[in-house]
């Protein structure tokens, strides 16, 4: 899936739709920790992972940009550190100039006002005024992969982000996952319209039938019932 198609299809979805679609497609749901949030609320990002492991110097980012493709998303692994920022306005401005579509940081940023003015979507754990005060040995895989929370991602992955957070999807599964996400989106929109029209969600999903079925078969789950009636409020 090329960058333009990814951007077009994700534009009408949320990360919640995609996460539910991953469950239905039996693809691992790889969400960044909840602390990773948009620097500018309302930001959205979608693109191929451009991984970097930060060791105290911005040169790793500049080197990554040398091989970046248009639409890539810089994913910065700074180990979730809270004692230093690892990305500032100049790196974000350079990322924008290199054609990237965003930055996701497992760590902190700084220069918030300037980053918001640049307009490139940036997601991070938070902000602190100080940059790195150390220079560690560069990891052997500094440009091969990045770890965000419990997940390690690389150029074979896509990253999607919005106000609900950030998640990663294998590029090889993106077509199937997005197709399912679109179906979930459409079902949920129909359900919401009917609630507004006076038909409760309980009526729509035949909740009374579920309770009756469960009395007969205590092991029956609500997800089993939803699959049978075409609901989409879970998964």
Residue 60: is its pLDDT beyond 50?
yes
> In terms of domains, do 116 and 221 share one?
no
Q: Nearest CA to 49 among 162, 146, 176?
A: 146
> In terms of domains, do 172 and 210 share one?
no
173-202 exposure pattern, b = at least 16 Cβ within 10 A, e = fewer: bbeebbebbbebbeebeebeeeeeeeeeee
Is 192 contained in some domain?
no
Q: Which two tokens stand for residue 19?
A: 């996460």
> In terms of domains, do 156 and 113 share one?
yes
> In terms of domains, do 33 and 123 share one?
yes
pLDDT of residue 187: 87
> In terms of domains, do 165 and 49 share one?
yes
Enclosing domain of residue 159: 3-176
pLDDT of residue 72: 98
pLDDT per position as a tens digit, 181-209: 999 999 889 989 999 999 999 998 889 99
Is 16 contained in some domain?
yes
pLDDT of residue 228: 80
Is 90 contained in some domain?
yes
pLDDT per position as a tens digit, 145-166: 999 999 999 999 999 999 999 9
pLDDT of residue 36: 98
**Average confidence (pLDDT) over 103-122:** 98
Residue 122: is its pLDDT beyond 80?
yes
> In terms of domains, do 70 and 18 share one?
yes
Is 195 contained in some domain?
no
> In terms of domains, do 212 and 163 share one?
no
Is 183 contained in some domain?
no
pLDDT of residue 145: 98
Is 142 contained in some domain?
yes
Q: Dmax of the chain from CA atoms?
A: 65
Comparing 12 with 224, the larger pLDDT belongs to 12
Residue 61: is its pLDDT beyond 90?
yes
Residue 83: is its pLDDT beyond 80?
yes
Q: What is the CATH number of the domain that holds 25?
A: 3.50.30.40
pLDDT of residue 226: 82
Q: What are phi and psi of 100, to 5 degrees?
A: -70, 160
Is 235 contained in some domain?
no
> In terms of domains, do 148 and 45 share one?
yes
pTM of the model: 0.92
The answer to whether 66 and 185 have CB atoms below 8 angstroms apart is no
The answer to whether 144 and 129 have CB atoms below 8 angstroms apart is no
> In terms of domains, do 138 and 208 share one?
no
Structural domain total, the chain: 2
Q: Which two tokens stand for residue 195?
A: 């609630």
pLDDT mean across residues, the chain? 94
Handedness of CA 30, 31, 32, 33 (dihedral sign): negative
Residue 233: is its pLDDT beyond 60?
no
Rg (CA), the chain: 20
pLDDT of residue 74: 98
> In terms of domains, do 123 and 44 share one?
yes
Q: Which two tokens stand for residue 76?
A: 């910065």
| C-alpha span between 169 and 214 (Å, rounded) | 35
Comparing 94 with 230, the larger pLDDT belongs to 94
> In terms of domains, do 34 and 138 share one?
yes
pLDDT of residue 235: 46
pLDDT of residue 231: 57
> In terms of domains, do 151 and 106 share one?
yes
Is 190 contained in some domain?
no
């Amino acid at each position: 899936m090329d960058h333009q198609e990814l951007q077009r299809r994700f534009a009408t979805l949320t990360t919640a739709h995609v996460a539910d679609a991953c469950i239905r497609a039996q693809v691992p749901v790889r969400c960044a920790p909840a602390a990773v949030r948009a620097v500018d609320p309302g930001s959205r990002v979608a693109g191929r992972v451009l991984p970097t492991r930060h060791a105290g110097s911005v040169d790793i980012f500049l080197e990554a940009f040398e091989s970046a493709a248009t639409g890539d998303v810089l994913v910065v692994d700074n180990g979730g550190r809270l004692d230093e920022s690892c990305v500032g306005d100049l790196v974000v401005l350079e990322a924008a100039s290199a054609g990237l579509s965003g930055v996701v940081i497992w760590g902190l940023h700084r220069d918030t006002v300037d980053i918001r003015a640049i307009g490139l979507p940036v997601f991070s754990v938070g902000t602190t005024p100080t940059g790195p005060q150390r220079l560690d040995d560069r990891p052997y895989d500094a440009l091969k992969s990045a770890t965000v929370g419990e997940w390690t991602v690389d150029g074979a992955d896509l990253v999607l982000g919005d106000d609900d957070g950030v998640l990663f999807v294998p590029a090889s599964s993106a077509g199937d996952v997005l197709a399912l996400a679109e179906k979930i989106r459409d079902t949920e929109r129909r359900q919401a319209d009917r609630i507004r029209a006076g038909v409760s969600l309980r009526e729509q999903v035949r909740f009374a039938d579920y309770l009756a079925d469960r009395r007969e078969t205590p092991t029956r789950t609500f997800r089993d019932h939803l699959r049978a009636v075409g609901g989409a409020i879970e998964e």
